[in-house]
Structure 1
Amino acid sequence: MLKFPPFKTVATTILSSPYPSFCLPPKSPFTRFPSLTVATVLFRPFSTLDMGDDSGMDAVQRRLMFEDECILVDENDKVVGHDTKYNCHLMEKIEKENLLHRAFSVFLFNSKHELLLQQRSATKVTFPLVWTNTCCSHPLYRETELIDENALGVRNAAQRKLLDELGIPAEDVPVDQFTPLGRILYKAPSDGKWGEHELDYLLFIVRDVGVNPNPDEVKDVKYVNAEELKELVRKADAGEEGLKLSPWFRLIVDNFLYEWWDRVHKGTLPEAVDMKTIHKLT
């Protein structure tokens, strides 16, 4: 059994050094957000939820759940801290602590203006096997993905996850080619334990790309036109073929997608940009 020094000793060691190398890298996000102190982050009260008891969880997903640190924000999208992906998706903690984290949803269109969809893998902790937009994930609590100016941190994260999930090389999706169109805030339970509570950036990009899906993340992919998507929505509503759509994707489809898609065809997408409003959707 591993043995750790007493809590008091650990605290003394951390705080006695003005710059502990293992927790504050040279370009630390703490320099960008001075209100997030070392003591605040390291001494957040522990609970049994922090460690988890999910022995049956897929090994890759479990590693990501505990290694990835999501960006916690308030309802105005101001950064207020960070926490593990695991904690951010536990409905118990979402409800008790009102945990809200930053996320993004990528909508990638090819030169024929068809939208790339993915079916999430069976091993995903939240919403396995549902169909959704091209890529849905989170910017992480790291310097390159905390940059607020022109949503650059979110765009950097989108580029990273398109490679991780779909094998799309960074050079195929330059960060300056993403159009951040808006933000939504929503909450959605996945099952009795897991769920989402996200402030979601909606990113559009039109590029012809090579796709090589990662089976740990993605079960299937397909390009659809608007009419084909409407048929998928009809089937999901009717419960046909066991087809399900992710709740965030369905909210975006119902509120924005077809109008924006039409603008992609017309070349007027920049006219739809609204990054000042945070749309609270249910």
Structure 2
Amino acid sequence: MTATSEELIVLVDDDGTAIGTLPKPLVHHGETPLHRAFSAYLFDDAGRLLVTRRAAGKQTFPGMWTNTVCGHPGPGEDDATAIARRAEFELGLRVGDLREALPGYRYRAEFRGVVENEVCPVYLGRFAGTPSPDPAEVGDWRLLDWAAFRRRQESEDGDTWSPWCREQARLIEAAGLVPAA
């Protein structure tokens, strides 16, 4: 995406079929339309999960800890390409060994009057490189083994973790998909 291009979000119907697009700044508000997204959980070679804290200036769920990278595939863009694009843009990382974990995941969540309403397949994979976050996207990051990640999620109350990350982590565990260290 060039500096002058506009990020378009793919709107979908209840079956996940694309029905149009909107510029990203027009999508997220109190009545956010259903749209395509993705969540990726990326691990280093030692099996540690890279978790990120959303930048304080983000429009949606600012300052919350979450999975490695979330985002929206553009029109005609497959999820793997979108995940690689966002991991490079947000964190300066390369992505590999990507596999779909929760293909039918969908959620709706609200924080401070802004709603997320997404058909959001969840992926597991590996990353290569050292995180070098864009401060407009990522406020902080940590490498945690899965057990430490889940302990933090379950022990920290309130708005510490994004609601989708909490729910996805439970579903990943329930499906027996937690990667071995």
Q: Does 1:173 align with 2:98?
A: no
| SS of residue matched to 1:260 | coil
Match of 1:164 in 2: 89
CA shift for structure 1 position 197: 0.2
How many residues align structurally?
Answer: 177
Secondary structure of 1:91's partner?
coil
User: Aligned residue for 2:151?
Assistant: 231
Question: Alpha-carbon deviation of 1:210?
Answer: 2.1
Question: Aligned pair 1:139/2:55, yes or no?
Answer: no
1:132-171 superposed Cα distances (whole Å, 9 cap, x missing partner):
0000110112x4x1xxxxxxx1111111000110011xxx
Instruction: Pick the structure with greater CA Rg.
Output: 1
Is the counterpart of residue 251 in structure 1 residue 173 in structure 2?
no
Name 2:17's counterpart in structure 1.
78
SS at match of 1:70: strand
What is the one-letter code of the residue matched to 2:168?
I
**CA offsets per residue over residues 60-106 of structure 1, 9 Å max, x none?**
xxx99x932100111211111111222321123x3xxxx21000001
Question: 1:88–1:100: 8 Å Cα contact kept in structure 2?
Answer: no
User: Do the aligned residues in 1 keep the contact of 2:150 with 2:169 (CA within 8 Å)?
Assistant: no
Q: Deviations over 1:203-260 (max 9, x none)?
A: 11124432111101001010111221122113323x5xxx610011011012224631
1:25-54 deviations in Å (ceiling 9; x for gaps): xxxxxxxxxxxxxxxxxxxxxxxxxxxxxx
Structure with higher strand content? 2
Gaps of 5+ in 1: 1-62, 146-152, 267-282
Structure 1 segments, 4+ long, off by >4 Å, are: none
Distance, in Å, in 2 between the alignment partners of 1:207 and 1:121 is 21
TM-score of the two chains, using structure 2 as the length reference: 0.89
Higher relative helix content: 1
Structure 2 residue runs without a partner (length 5+): none
- What is the aligned partner in structure 2 of residue 215 from structure 1? 135
Given the superposition, is the C-alpha separation of residues 216 and 207 from structure 1 closer, same or farther in structure 2, using an over 3 Å criterion?
closer
Cα RMSD of the aligned pairs, angstroms, is: 2.1
2:180 corresponds to = 265
CA contact (8 A) 2:92 2:129 kept: no
1:68 maps to 2:11: no
TM-score if structure 1 supplies the norm length?
Answer: 0.58
CA distance in 2 between counterparts of 1:207 and 1:254 reads 22
